[in-house]
């Protein structure tokens, strides 16, 4: 049964990681709906995200290799430091610092209070409305080449909010990008690139810690299956989303977030689901 549950959760992770609807929130809620009726946990969530981030690397492989190569060459003077790809390398590094520091220091909150479903429901609604506002009011006249170090850091600070299930990593960073005047596709692409070191750092750290932890809902074998499934589904979702954002708005995701948040609050208020897993 756990294998089937792992496959379902892997599909959920792959479907929701790149959409601005919060994969961690969905894993948290769907986990309660499965026969086991338990929170998959922060470790399961972080490790399965390795699968979806591997999908990002595959999808943007040429871009990532070019950025790393040009950034490394800029350190030796073979490439000008203001080269667009070299700059992007520094922008990703700068944007990753906030979540690296705060994520490490807030481990207790990430595993405890942040997973309360009342909080998850509230941020689904609030940040959904903020995303809708930024998408409606944003000028969308800036592209990746217009990204500056201060705006890159602003993206990074927004990414920190993703430590709370329900906010959404892509939702928070994309919202910041829209608020700063970037186009939907530019905001989404930088969001994907920015997530790579943060997610891999978090996932590998949680994977390392899991060898000393007991009482996890899912075994490492189950988690590995979910991670592979998330990788496959994730590649398909990235391709769809990048095509959709060329013409489509974030309104459907905003509506979905608000509806899901309201439904969660109703279920919590009626006592159908617990706010905190036992």
Residue 231: inside a domain, yes or no? yes
Query: What 3-state class would DSSP assign to 182?
Result: strand
Residue 129: inside a domain, yes or no? yes
Q: Which residues constitute the domain of residue 19?
A: 2-270
Residue 177: inside a domain, yes or no? yes
Residue 182's φ and ψ, nearest 5 degrees, are -80, 155
Residue 106: inside a domain, yes or no? yes
Residue 278: inside a domain, yes or no? no
Mean pLDDT, 10 residues at a time, over the chain (278 residues)? 88 96 93 84 89 95 96 94 93 96 89 91 97 96 95 96 93 96 96 94 83 71 94 95 94 98 96 84
Residue 40: inside a domain, yes or no? yes
Q: How far is residue 24's CA from residue 29's CA, in Å, rounded to a whole number?
A: 9
Tell me the per-residue pLDDT of 33-85, one tens digit each, with 9 for 90 and over: 888 778 888 888 899 999 999 999 999 999 999 999 999 999 999 999 889 99
Residue 275: inside a domain, yes or no? no
Predicted local distance difference test score (pLDDT) of residue 38 = 81
Predicted local distance difference test score (pLDDT) of residue 213 = 65
Tell me the per-residue pLDDT of 102-127, one tens digit each, with 9 for 90 and over: 998 988 888 888 989 999 999 999 99
Predicted local distance difference test score (pLDDT) of residue 212 = 66
Number of folded domains in the chain? 1
Predicted local distance difference test score (pLDDT) of residue 217 = 72
pTM given for the model: 0.91
Residue 277: inside a domain, yes or no? no
């Amino acid at each position: 049964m756990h294998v089937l549950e792992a496959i379902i959760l892997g599909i959920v992770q792959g479907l929701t990681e790149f959409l601005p609807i919060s994969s961690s929130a969905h894993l948290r809620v769907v986990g309660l709906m499965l026969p086991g009726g338990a929170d998959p946990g922060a470790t399961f969530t972080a490790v399965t995200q390795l699968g979806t981030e591997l999908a990002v690397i595959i999808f943007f492989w040429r871009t990532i290799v070019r950025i790393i190569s040009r950034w490394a060459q800029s350190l030796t003077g073979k490439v000008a430091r203001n080269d667009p790809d070299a700059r992007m390398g520094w922008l990703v590094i700068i944007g990753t610092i906030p979540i690296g520091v705060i994520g490490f220091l807030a481990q207790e909150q990430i595993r405890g209070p942040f997973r309360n479903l009342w909080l998850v429901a509230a941020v689904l609604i609030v940040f959904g409305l903020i995303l809708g506002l930024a998408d409606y009011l944003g000028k969308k006249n800036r592209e990746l080449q217009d990204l500056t170090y201060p705006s890159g850091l602003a993206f990074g600070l927004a990414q920190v909010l993703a430590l709370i299930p329900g906010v959404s990593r892509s939702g928070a960073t994309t919202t910041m990008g829209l608020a700063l005047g970037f186009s939907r596709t530019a905001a989404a692409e930088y969001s994907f690139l920015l997530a790579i070191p943060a997610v891999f750092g978090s996932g590998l750290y949680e994977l390392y810690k899991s060898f000393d932890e007991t009482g996890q809902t899912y075994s490492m074998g189950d988690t590995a299956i979910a991670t592979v499934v998330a990788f496959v589904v994730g590649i398909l979702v990235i391709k769809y989303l990048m095509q959709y954002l060329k013409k489509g708005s974030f309104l459907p995701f905003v509506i979905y977030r608000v509806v899901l948040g309201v439904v969660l609050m109703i279920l919590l208020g009626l006592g159908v689901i617990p706010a905190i897993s036992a």
